[in-house]
Amino acid sequence: MAIDIDKKIKLNKEFYGEKTAIIAQSGGGKSYTARVIIEEGLASGHTFVIFDPQEAYMNLPQMEYIQAQNVKSVAGLGKIIAQTHRNTVILLKSLTIEKQQGFVNDFLKSYKKNVSKGIQTLVIDEFHKFAPESEKTACKSEVRGLFQESRSDGIGIFLISQRPQRVDKTCLSQCTNYFIGRLTSQRDQQAVNNYIDRTKMTKELRDFESGEFYIDGIKRDPEIVKIREAKTVHSGNSPKNILTENKVDFYKNTKKLIRGKNMENPIKEVEKVLPDTKSFSHLAGIGIDFALGSAVSGIAGNFVGSKVAIPVAFVSGRTVGSLATTLAMYAGYKVSPYGKDVLMYGTAGSAAYTVGSVAFDILKLTNVNMSALDFIIQTATGAQKQ
């Protein structure tokens, strides 16, 4: 039976100051459920800070939407929100994942230092990217701290993730409330097994509909609940970025598709993880920057090689020229506020060329002539044999 979360399940004031995990695979209804809970909270006068890497929390009333890339002082923003308890959605999508982690770290440091008393809920979507199990990130210790420190300042947290097996176990185990939705992967099911009372399970997690959740906590007996429809327009989309999402499913399903076998999940599931046009152009952009770096390195290297005799017998001018180019690009990447991505991937391209050049120097030194190896080095790095 569908239970309307705002009629039969009352979310009291304390709930918004507690730690709540909302777990389901992509499309299971996590951000939709979080939206419904936030709608309830806003209506009761609670405030939220939402870290939104997917633009899944648009159209919420009373919210200020802030583009992370436009924030000049992250610490300043953290301080203002901590002191004023403003309802804020921080849109992180335009930042690389490393920058998102750095942003969350700087924000939380300042927020925790300055937070004024009273309940405020921090919503961290795609939690596994900020505090993954057995992996360090710039913000992991700050995020973990939120779960470990016994706080009296009323900070509540929503931990939202589609990959429970990848979420830091300390954070997951410190939650008071668990909303667990559809999970078809066995590893993900195992990761939440400890939080489920099997006697209350009338159906398996893999059979849950979108929006159906096993709820443990909120001072009730555990039960399976269908979350009510949202009052605001949901903006969440299943991510389609091959660089960051569900690569395992992608490879598994595309392999089956190519072999013509039946897929575990119908083609819809493949579509969900196939990269969209934006992801393809992002990949193409990286490729162009990389090739550009390699080409610049090649031109500089060959120029130096043709003009300068290097006193160290086995080091070619090409290597010296391309190494200098790599260092110059790296220095540019470090100091320049502009063109960070071009300089970063350009440095990688230039470094690859330099590695190729060094490989040719070594081959020359050993007097070995292996055309297959030459071909591989040339193709992989762009460096030409001299």
List, in sequence order, the alpha helices (H) in the chain. 30-43, 74-84, 97-114, 127-130, 140-148, 169-173, 186-192, 247-259, 267-273, 277-307, 317-335, 340-366, 371-381
Q: How many C-alpha atoms does 327 have within 13 Å on its Cβ side?
A: 7
Q: In angstroms, what is the minimal distance from the CB of 227 to ligand ATP? A: 4
Q: Count CB neighbours of 375 within 10 A.
A: 11
Contacting ligand ATP (CB under 6 A), which of 20, 238, 322, 326?
Answer: 238
The residue count for binding ligand ATP (CB under 6 A) is 19
Residue 26 as a binder of ligand ATP (CB under 6 A): the answer is: yes
Give backbone dihedrals phi and psi of 48, rounded to 5 degrees, phi first. Answer: -135, 145
Residue 29 as a binder of ligand ATP (CB under 6 A): the answer is: yes
**CB 283 within 8 Å of CB 243:** yes
Q: In angstroms, what is the minimal distance from the CB of 206 to ligand ATP? A: 15
Residue 165 as a binder of ligand ATP (CB under 6 A): the answer is: no
Residue 236 as a binder of ligand ATP (CB under 6 A): the answer is: yes
Q: Which two tokens stand for residue 338?
A: 């502009």
- Closest chain position to ligand ATP (CB): 211
Burial label, 125 (beta-carbon count in 10 A; 0-12, 13-18, 19+): buried
Q: In angstroms, what is the minimal distance from the CB of 48 to ligand ATP? A: 16
Residue 234 as a binder of ligand ATP (CB under 6 A): the answer is: yes
Residue 227 as a binder of ligand ATP (CB under 6 A): the answer is: yes
User: Which of residues 31 and 47 has its CB atom nearest to ligand ATP in the complex?
Assistant: 31
Classify each residue of 265-297 as buried b or exposed e, where b means 16 or more C-beta atoms within 10 Å of its C-beta: eeeebbebbbbeeebeebeeebeebbebbbebb
What residues numbered 245-264 form the site for ligand ATP, per CB under 6 A? none
Q: In angstroms, what is the minimal distance from the CB of 45 to ligand ATP? A: 24
Contacting ligand ATP (CB under 6 A), which of 20, 31, 121, 381?
Answer: 31
User: Which of residues 165 and 316 has its CB atom nearest to ligand ATP in the complex?
Assistant: 165
Residue 185 as a binder of ligand ATP (CB under 6 A): the answer is: no
Residue 177 as a binder of ligand ATP (CB under 6 A): the answer is: no
Give backbone dihedrals phi and psi of 253, rounded to 5 degrees, phi first. Answer: -75, -35
Residue 24 as a binder of ligand ATP (CB under 6 A): the answer is: yes
Single-letter code of the amino acid located at 244 = T
Contacts of 281 (CB under 8 A, 6+ apart): none
x-marked contacts with ligand ATP along 37-66 as a string, rule CB under 6 A = -----------------x-x----------
Residue 32 as a binder of ligand ATP (CB under 6 A): the answer is: yes
Question: Kindly report the CA angle at 239 between 233 and 244, in degrees rounded to 5?
Answer: 150
Residue 337 Cα distances to 78, 331, 333, 382, angstroms: 22, 12, 8, 28
User: Which of residues 189 and 325 has its CB atom nearest to ligand ATP in the complex?
Assistant: 189
Q: In angstroms, what is the minimal distance from the CB of 30 to ligand ATP? A: 4
CA distance 354 to 359: 9
Q: In angstroms, what is the minimal distance from the CB of 34 to ligand ATP? A: 8
User: Which of residues 30 and 85 has its CB atom nearest to ligand ATP in the complex?
Assistant: 30
**Which residues of the shown chain bind ligand ATP in the complex (CB under 6 A)?**
24, 26-32, 54, 56, 162, 210-211, 227, 229, 234, 236, 238-239
